[in-house]
Amino acid sequence: MGLIIIILGALQILSGIMAYGAAVSAIHQILGAVLFGMGVLSVALGSALRQLQAIRAATERHAEAMEVLKNRRQGAAA
C-alpha cells in the first residue's frame, strides 16, 4: 500500500513539474505548484505507512517471541 502511494506521489511530482514548465499563465503555475506539493505529501505519507507496517510486523514478532518464552518458563516451573 505504501509503495503504491509513493509511486503515485512521484508521478504527481513529475506532472507538477511538467505543468509548471508548460505554464502559459499564473493559474497554470499555481496548478503546477499544487501538484508538486501534493506529490511531496503523498510520498511522505507512503513512506510513513511503510515505516508503520515495519514497526507493526516487528511488534508482532516480538509478541510471539515473548509468548514462546513465557510458555517455556511456565513449562519449566511445573
pLDDT at 1: 87
- Side-chain-side CA neighbours of residue 35 (13 Å): 20
What angle, 0 to 180 degrees and rounded to 10, lies between the N-to-C axes of helices 26-77 and 2-21?
Answer: 170
Q: Please tell me the pTM assigned to this model.
A: 0.79
pLDDT at 10: 97
Tens digit of pLDDT for each residue in 58-68? 999 999 999 98
Going residue by residue through the chain, which has 78 residues, state the pLDDT in tens, using 9 for 90 and above.
Answer: 889 999 999 999 999 999 999 999 999 999 999 999 999 999 999 999 999 999 999 999 999 999 988 888 887 776
